[in-house]
Structure formats: C-alpha cells, structure tokens
C-alpha cells in the first residue's frame, strides 16, 4: 500500500515538474520574441536619432543657400565680397561685406592675442606644476568663466573695460572693437586652457621621467618634450577658440557698436558679421527686400568661416596626433 502511494506521489511530481518546464519554455519563447523585436528596432531608432543632427545641418544649409542665391541675383557676387562700403538702407544702398569681415577678423585676432598666451600658460601650470590639490581647486574655478552668459561679458566690456581703456587711450571711442576683443579673449581662456591641459596630461609620464633622467630641467621637459608631444591638441584648441570668437554675438553687439567702418583702427567703432545679423533681424527689414536677403548672404559667409575652422581643427588633430 505504501509502495502504491509513493509511486502515485512520484507520478504527480513528474507531471507537476513537466508542467513547470513547459511553462518555463513558453515564457522563454515570449521573452525571446520581445528581445528579438527590441534588437531589430533599436538600431533603427538610434540611426534616426543620429540623423537628427545631420538633417538639421542640411536644413540650415538649404535655407541659407536658397535665400543667398536670391540675394546674388540682385547684388553681384564680386561686388559683395570686394566692396568696402556697406550702406544697406536708403535709395543708393551698397552691399559690401568687407567692413563686416574686417571687424570680425580684428575682434577675433585681439581675442586670440589674449586667450592663447594666458590659456597656454594656465594649461602648462595645471598640467606640469600644480599639485593635485591645487588642480582640483583651480580648474573648476577656471571653467566657471565658460558658464557666464555672454551678454554679461558684453555689459562688462561696455561699462568697465571700455572706461578703463579710455583712461589709457584717450582717443578710444565709447563703442570700439578693442574692448570686446579683449573680453572675448577672457571668455575663450577656459576653452584653450582646458583642452590644452587635457592634451598635455595625456602625454605619458615615462617621457617626462626619461627627459629628467637625462638631466633636463622641469622647464626644458615642458617646452621640449611635453608641448611638442601635445601639439595636436594644443593647436586644435587654438583653432576651436578662433571659431568660437568668429561666432560670438552678444559681446560685439553690445560693446563694438554698429558703425560699418572698413578700418584697421581698433579704437574705432566697428561691426562684425554676427552683430549685423542681430541688427537686421531686430530691425524693420521687410521680407523679400534686398536688405532681408543680405542677412542670409552674411549668415552663409559666417557659416562657411566657422565650418572651415572646424575642418581645420580636425585636420590638425589627425595630422599631428601622437600615438602612445
């Protein structure tokens, strides 16, 4: 009797176990089907997300190009890019972009004269001389400069830097290109310093130790070993800084004025391409007018400038990259 009961229990356990196994198989099938669908959908979804930036760039180029072509149907291409007079209003309107180009390049040059030496020296100190404790304090403080809104920099240039420079240079006009150029350089210092410091920190310590073992001083190691090895990243930071200065808007709009002077006198009021775009979009340019289409021609020129700077930075990074 006991044997029969034991056998019956074993049989029930087998059935129960079999049922559990079948349920597990069914669950695994369902789970497998969901995973399979997810694996097929995710690459497509990620591709669509990746295409957003590309489609946005294409949309910008198409929009600018269409309106720029319309502008050049009215104003000759050569006249626009060689003209030294920009008078977009009035019956005898003239559209020459050279005053805007000169203002943009001069402000960028002033900014880089400030940003490159200070940024590079800061990067050298943080990478080669500062202790870990000092670096952890100074680098976040330095990068706070990058978080300040550019409109604040603009008012700083207009209300503090310009009066300060006027005390030194009496001929300095209330709005000029020198003051915003200097302030732009201060704004770009964190970019140059941070990227250069990262490039120098990536140089293996074995190279430093080898140079020190041969009798080189700390300064010689920095200038003759570390900086040449980090040239790619350092130059790329300079080029990206130039690109950032070319595209700056609020500082030059507030502090450089709106006079469209074709001059190289940094004490004079000048206008950059970005400031002109702000002026036209904020003014009363009727849609379909030559003034309206000039906005797109200037924007396309600025877009090409920035694109070339970014391509140059990528080329330099690939050309001079050191593999360790």
DSSP result, 120-161: HHHHHIIIIIS-HHHHHHHHHHHHHGGGS-HHHHHHHIIIII
273's CB contacts (< 8 A; 6+ apart) are 97, 100, 101, 103, 104, 298, 299, 301, 302, 305
Q: Are 244 and 107 a contacting pair, CB within 8 Å?
A: no
Q: Is 263 exposed, middle or buried (0-12, 13-18, 19+ CB in 10 A)?
A: middle
Whole-angstrom distance, CA of residue 269 vs CA of residue 54: 38
- 122 and 6 belong to one structural domain: no
Residue 258 DSSP class? S
- 49 and 101 belong to one structural domain: no
Q: For 188-226, how does the pLDDT look when each residue is reduced to its tens digit (9 = 90+)?
A: 999 899 889 888 888 888 888 888 888 888 888 888 888
Q: For 251-299, how does the pLDDT look when each residue is reduced to its tens digit (9 = 90+)?
A: 998 988 888 888 888 888 888 898 888 888 876 677 778 888 888 899 9
Provide the whole-model pTM.
0.80
- 171 and 40 belong to one structural domain: no
Report the number of distinct structural domains present in the chain. 2
Query: Does residue 81 form part of some domain?
Result: no
- 192 and 50 belong to one structural domain: no
- The residue among 274, 265, 221, 222 whose CA lies nearest residue 246 is 274
Q: Are 65 and 300 a contacting pair, CB within 8 Å?
A: yes
Range of the domain at 32: 1-74
């Amino acid at each position: 009797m006991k044997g029969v009961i034991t056998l019956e229990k074993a049989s029930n356990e087998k059935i129960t176990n079999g049922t559990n196994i079948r349920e597990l198989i069914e669950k695994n099938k369902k789970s497998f089907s969901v995973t399979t669908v997810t694996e097929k959908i995710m690459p497509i979804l990620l591709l669509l997300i990746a295409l957003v930036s590309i489609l946005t760039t294409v949309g910008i180029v198409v929009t600018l190009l269409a309106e720029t072509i319309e502008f050049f149907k009215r104003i000759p291409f050569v006249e626009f890019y060689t003209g030294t007079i920009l008078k977009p209003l009035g019956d005898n309107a003239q559209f020459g972009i050279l005053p805007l180009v000169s203002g943009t390049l001069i402000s960028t040059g002033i900014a880089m004269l400030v940003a490159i030496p200070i940024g590079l020296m800061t990067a050298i100190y943080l990478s080669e001389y500062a202790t870990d404790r000092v670096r952890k304090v100074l680098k976040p403080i330095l990068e706070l400069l990058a978080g300040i809104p550019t409109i604040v920099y603009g008012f700083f240039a207009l209300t503090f830097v310009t009066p300060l420079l006027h005390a030194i240079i009496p001929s300095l006009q209330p709005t000029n290109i020198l003051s915003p150029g200097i302030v732009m350089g201060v704004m770009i210092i964190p970019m140059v310093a941070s990227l250069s410091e990262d490039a120098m920190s990536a140089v293996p310590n074995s190279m430093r130790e080898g140079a020190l073992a041969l009798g080189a001083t700390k300064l010689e190691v920095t200038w003759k070993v570390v900086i040449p090895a980090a040239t790619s990243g350092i130059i790329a930071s300079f080029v990206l800084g130039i690109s950032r200065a070319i595209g700056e808007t609020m500082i030059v709009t507030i502090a450089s004025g709106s006079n469209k002077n074709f001059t190289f006198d940094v004490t004079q009021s000048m206008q950059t391409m970005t400031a002109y775009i702000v002026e036209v979009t904020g003014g009363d340019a009727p849609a379909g007018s030559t003034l309206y289409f000039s906005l797109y021609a200037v924007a396309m020129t600025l877009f090409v400038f920035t694109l070339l700077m970014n391509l140059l930075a990528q080329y330099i990074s690939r050309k001079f990259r050191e593999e360790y």
